[in-house]
């Protein structure tokens, strides 16, 4: 009984270490990603200086980068201009690269997909916001998906940014109280569209990177809440999972936003050497302050329903990633460490 009690105590201490309220971590990391979503341009933006204190190598917008739900492109343009004039964000842009996807509120209309009649005009303004040159191939592409490999001394990290708006089929309304949408059945509907799927397959064939980060504006694993999620297209969830297996993609982590809460979700997929983690970080300026709980069978730890940003710290000697949900004044609301296989 004494041995059992000691083992239990050690285990509880480990859990407390992984999911803590504060962090005094000072160990240097080989690569650092900061990311966040859900950002209202006319509200206080407290995190830009805080993000820079962590010395990230890149910042990734996870969607809803501005709130400009309008078919008037002057309104959307003004939103992006306001954000680009934010002093804290200007300093961030001068310091590190920026990558981004969009979500519904910067795409143009709540929960809208391929049916949005202003999507081409909206894409033009989105690329302007990111400073994409007029002669870039991205200007001729339908959708805002993109990728980039970050080479560092000990290896590299590939970031794949998906577009879950431009090609997405209209969502199926739910008649169940408390649910907004129901999943498609019988392989109907699409989230990414065939053109983007073919692009993604080619991106995942080049899987020499030590880690692959896939950015999705909406959650990949959590789907019981009845709002926007990959779970509304279960055949697309299965397709991505099987693609990771068939291409033997190394050490994938999914980053998501949208929900105005932050949390970690994780599942094991047969054929993958590691569990798949979906790290949700939302939002940067506002959050689900009256959050009362929702089911997520994949959740690891607890839900953070205060404004926050996400941080991933990569150690390529041990192949360990420390994922953190962070707030103001250096607070770490929750962290989750995973060690990944080297080959």
Convert the pLDDT of each residue in 95-133 to its tens digit: 999 999 999 999 999 999 999 999 999 999 999 999 999
Percentage with pLDDT > 90 across the chain = 88
Task: Average the pLDDT over 34-56 and give the result.
Answer: 98
Angstrom distances, CA of residue 191 to CA of 32, 195, 308: 29, 11, 27
- pLDDT tens figures, 162-171: 999 999 999 9
Q: Does the CA dihedral 105-106-109-113 come out positive or negative?
A: negative
The H or E element that residue 177 is part of is none
Residue 99 phi/psi, 5-degree rounding, is -120, 160
CA angle, 79 then 258 then 263, to 5°: 135
Per-residue pLDDT for 20 more than 50?
no
What was the pLDDT predicted at 17?
A: 40
Of the pLDDT bands very low, low, confident and very high (cuts 50, 70, 90), residue 9 is very low
Mean pLDDT taken over the chain: 93
How do residues 66-80 score in pLDDT, each as one tens digit? 999 999 999 999 999
How confident is the model over 224-242, as a mean pLDDT? 97
Which CA distances in Å does 289 have to 47, 101, 158, 219?
Answer: 18, 25, 34, 19
231: left (phi over 0), alpha (psi -120 to 50) or beta: alpha
Residue with the larger pLDDT of the pair 5 and 191: 191
138-179 tens-digit pLDDT: 999 999 999 999 999 999 999 999 999 999 999 999 988 888
pLDDT reported for residue 178? 80
Considering the chain, what percentage of its residues have pLDDT values greater than 70? 92
Q: Do 202 and 155 form a contact (C-beta atoms < 8 A)?
A: no
Q: How far is CA 250 from CA 46, 149, 197, 209, 220, in A?
A: 35, 14, 19, 7, 18
The rounded distance, in Å, linking the Cα atoms of 270 and 10 is 30
The reported pLDDT for the residue numbered 27 is 58
Predicted confidence at residue 206, as pLDDT, reads 79
* pLDDT for 16 beyond 90: no
CA distance linking residue 282 with residue 25, whole number of Å: 23
């Amino acid at each position: 009984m004494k041995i059992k009690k000691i083992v239990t105590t050690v285990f509880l201490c480990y859990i407390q270490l992984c999911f803590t309220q504060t962090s005094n971590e000072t160990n240097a990391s080989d690569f650092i990603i900061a990311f966040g979503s859900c950002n209202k341009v006319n509200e206080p933006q407290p995190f830009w200086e805080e993000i820079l204190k962590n010395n990230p190598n890149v910042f990734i917008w996870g969607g809803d980068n501005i709130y400009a739900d309008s078919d008037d492109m002057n309104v959307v343009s003004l939103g992006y201009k306001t954000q680009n004039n934010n002093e804290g964000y200007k300093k961030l842009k001068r310091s590190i690269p920026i990558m981004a996807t969009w979500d519904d509120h910067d795409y143009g209309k709540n929960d809208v997909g391929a049916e949005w009649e202003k999507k081409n005009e909206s894409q033009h303004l989105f690329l302007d916001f990111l400073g994409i040159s007029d002669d870039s191939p991205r200007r001729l592409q339908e959708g805002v998906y993109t990728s980039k490999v970050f080479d560092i001394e000990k290896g590299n990290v590939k970031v794949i940014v998906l577009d879950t708006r431009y090609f997405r089929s209209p969502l199926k309304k739910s008649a169940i109280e408390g649910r907004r949408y129901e999943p498609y059945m019988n392989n109907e509907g699409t989230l990414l569209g065939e053109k983007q799927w073919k692009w993604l397959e080619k991106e995942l064939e080049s899987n020499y990177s030590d880690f692959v980060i896939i950015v999705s504006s909406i959650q990949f694993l959590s789907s019981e809440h009845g709002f926007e999620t990959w779970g509304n297209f279960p055949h697309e969830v299965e397709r991505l999972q099987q693609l990771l297996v068939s291409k033997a993609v190394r050490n994938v982590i999914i980053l998501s936003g949208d929900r105005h809460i932050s949390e970690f979700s994780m599942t094991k997929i047969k054929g993958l050497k590691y569990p798949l983690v979906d790290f949700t970080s939302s939002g940067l300026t506002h959050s689900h302050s009256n959050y009362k709980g929702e089911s997520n069978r994949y959740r690891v730890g607890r839900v953070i329903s205060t404004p926050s940003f996400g941080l991933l710290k990569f150690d390529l000697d041990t192949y360990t990633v420390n994922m953190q949900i962070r707030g103001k004044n250096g607070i770490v609301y929750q962290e989750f460490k995973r060690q990944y296989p080297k080959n």
